[in-house]
């Protein structure tokens, strides 16, 4: 989360890189849309001039300009929305793919040392914030500067003095929001973190409902959730207050140029420096200048919120991956398991395995016995390659553990965890989870070896019975 702000922005923009052509086309349509808006304002001024001078020619010209500009603007808006949809949803699809791919290759420590609810929150809440920025706010970032520059180009030829007077509020709109932005970024980050903790509490409450009820812990669990939820609510209310102040600044910024234009522009019309139809066009063009300036606080605020979400996503993408060794073959005649002087400690420095030595005979049975917490599960997890760093020698089928390609090693190992997990599919799909290409006959043979075939055949739909999440329907 301490990554530099500029780096977060640049890395966020890289998500769009595969769609840069579509994005550039969207920029071109943005420029066209802004130009057509001013052309429409010019057409309106021609209609006003026609009414002022009683000229049918000016009326036809103004009507033609309005029809052309509005048609082109409508086409550009529809096309731009379609293009930006491809860019935003495509980039977010890639982000989700990268997150899930990273999770599949991440070390077990990521899931054992943290909360999966927080990871889930980043994949939902934070990605949603990023999606809103890419699909909507980013377009605004492009659109409003173009409108602002186009408005200046049309206003200056009419009256430099009036343009300068109307721009007097711009420094105000840029300077004063800075006092609120730091608080918004801090509060937005706190809110996103709080929502993640709320998700954690919900997930734990559902997953551990039976245990909670069995030990009478409902009241304590409810209090924890209510406290986390209250903190998230308070953060949201404080953030709303800061949003309100930013909105007020935007409204003041919007009003000052309009009032200045009306008062000073009317005076210039009275003294003959500006024609009335020119003044009317200037008022139209002023809206193209005022709105971008008034949106500066909102734009800055949106990026502050997005940057916090993007940093949390990037932090997840930067998680280390499991070391993947080279493809290794078994050494004929070697012991399946051979451990010599094994030492292992967790990341927090807690040493669990101290000088362990053992062997596992082929076609034999080896029991690892010890008191609770002595490291039995840790040893088995280490043999499966779930933990990377250790001291000593660990050989599996004659090859050092660190030299094995983990996917190849794990295909040779069968696991029965202390807390079994069933996917919400069929019995057949769960048995074949470790070998996706397994045939029906192979699945049934595996079930027979586990003494489960007879039980499975008595289920309502046999191997095609839906087990439900966590096996709830069994």
Picking from 424, 426, 468, the residue whose alpha carbon sits closest to that of residue 447 is 426
pLDDT at 4 over 60: no
Calculate the CA dihedral of residues 312, 313, 318, 324 and round it to 10 degrees. Answer: 130
Name the percent of the chain lying above pLDDT 70: 85
Q: What is the pLDDT of residue 17?
A: 85
d(CA 276, CA 60): 19
pLDDT at 1 over 50: no
Please list, residue by residue across 107-121, b when 16 or more beta carbons sit within 10 angstroms of its beta carbon and e when fewer do.
bebbeeeebebbbeb
At 106, is the secondary structure helix, strand, or coil?
Answer: coil
Q: What is the pLDDT of residue 413?
A: 79
Q: What is the pLDDT of residue 270?
A: 81
**Residue 74's CB: how many other CB atoms inside 10 A?**
12
pLDDT interval class at 182 (50, 70, 90): low
d(CA 134, CA 309): 12
Q: Are strands 351-360 and 391-396 parallel, antiparallel or unpaired?
A: unpaired
Name the percent of the chain lying above pLDDT 90: 1
Mean pLDDT along residues 231-237:
83
Q: What is the pLDDT of residue 114?
A: 56
Sign of CA dihedral 62, 63, 68, 74: positive
Sign of CA dihedral 287, 288, 293, 295: positive
pLDDT at 173 over 70: no
Lowest mean pLDDT among 17-21, 137-141, 211-215, 227-231: 211-215
| pLDDT tens per residue across span 55-96 | 888 889 888 988 998 898 888 888 888 888 888 888 888 888
pLDDT at 473 over 70: no
235 vs 329: which has the higher pLDDT: 235
At 328, is the secondary structure helix, strand, or coil?
Answer: coil
184 vs 59: which has the higher pLDDT: 59
Two tokens, residue 130: 């990023």
At 114, is the secondary structure helix, strand, or coil?
Answer: coil
Sign of CA dihedral 384, 385, 391, 393: positive
Widest CA span of the chain, in angstroms?
Answer: 106
Mean pLDDT along residues 13-32:
85
Phi, psi of 223, deg, nearest 5: -60, -40
pLDDT at 15 over 60: yes
At 28, is the secondary structure helix, strand, or coil?
Answer: helix
Mean pLDDT along residues 206-232:
73
* pTM of structure: 0.61
């Amino acid at each position: 989360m301490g990554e530099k702000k500029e780096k977060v922005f640049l890395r966020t923009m890289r998500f769009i890189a595969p769609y840069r052509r579509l994005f550039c086309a969207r920029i071109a349509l943005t420029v066209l849309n802004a130009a057509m808006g001013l052309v429409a304002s010019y057409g309106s001024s021609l209609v006003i001039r026609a009414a002022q001078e009683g000229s049918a020619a000016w009326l036809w010209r103004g009507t033609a300009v309005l029809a052309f500009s509005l048609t082109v603007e409508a086409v550009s808006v529809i096309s731009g929305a379609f293009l930006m949809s491809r860019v935003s949803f495509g980039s977010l699809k890639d982000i989700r793919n990268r997150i899930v791919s990273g999770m599949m290759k991440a070390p077990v420590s990521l899931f054992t040392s943290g909360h999966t609810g927080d990871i889930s929150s980043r994949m939902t809440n934070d990605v949603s914030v990023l999606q809103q920025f890419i699909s909507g706010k980013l377009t605004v970032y492009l659109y409003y500067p173009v409108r602002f520059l186009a408005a200046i180009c049309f206003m200056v030829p009419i009256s430099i003095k009036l343009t300068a007077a109307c721009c007097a509020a711009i420094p105000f709109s840029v300077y004063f929001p800075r006092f609120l932005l730091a608080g918004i970024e801090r509060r937005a980050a706190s809110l996103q973190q709080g929502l993640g903790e709320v998700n954690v509490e919900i997930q734990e409450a559902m997953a551990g409902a039976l245990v909670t009820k069995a030990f009478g812990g409902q009241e304590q669990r409810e209090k924890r959730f209510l406290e986390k939820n209250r903190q998230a609510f308070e953060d949201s209310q404080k953030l709303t207050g800061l949003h309100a102040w930013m909105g007020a600044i935007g409204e003041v910024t919007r009003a000052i140029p309009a009032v200045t234009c009306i008062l000073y522009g009317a005076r210039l019309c009275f003294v003959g420096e500006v024609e009335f139809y020119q003044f009317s066009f200037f008022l139209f063009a002023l809206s193209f200048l005022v709105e971008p300036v008034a949106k500066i606080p909102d734009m800055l605020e949106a990026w502050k919120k997005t940057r916090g979400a993007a940093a949390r996503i990037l932090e997840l993408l930067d998680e280390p991956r499991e070391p993947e060794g080279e493809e290794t073959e078994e050494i004929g005649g070697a012991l399946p398991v051979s451990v010599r002087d094994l030492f292992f400690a967790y990341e927090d420095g807690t040493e669990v395995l101290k000088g362990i030595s053992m062997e596992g005979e082929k076609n034999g049975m080896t029991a690892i016995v010890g008191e609770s917490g002595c490291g039995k599960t840790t040893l088995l997890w280490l043999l499966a390659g779930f933990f990377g760093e250790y001291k000593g020698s660990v050989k599996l089928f004659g090859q050092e553990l660190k030299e094995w390609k983990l996917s190849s090693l794990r295909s040779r190992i069968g696991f029965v965890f202390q807390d079994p997990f069933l996917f919400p599919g069929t019995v057949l799909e769960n048995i074949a989870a470790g070998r996706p290409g397994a045939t029906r006959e192979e699945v049934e043979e595996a079930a027979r070896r586990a003494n489960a075939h007879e039980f499975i055949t008595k289920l309502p739909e046999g191997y095609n019975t839906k087990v439900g999440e966590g096996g709830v329907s069994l």
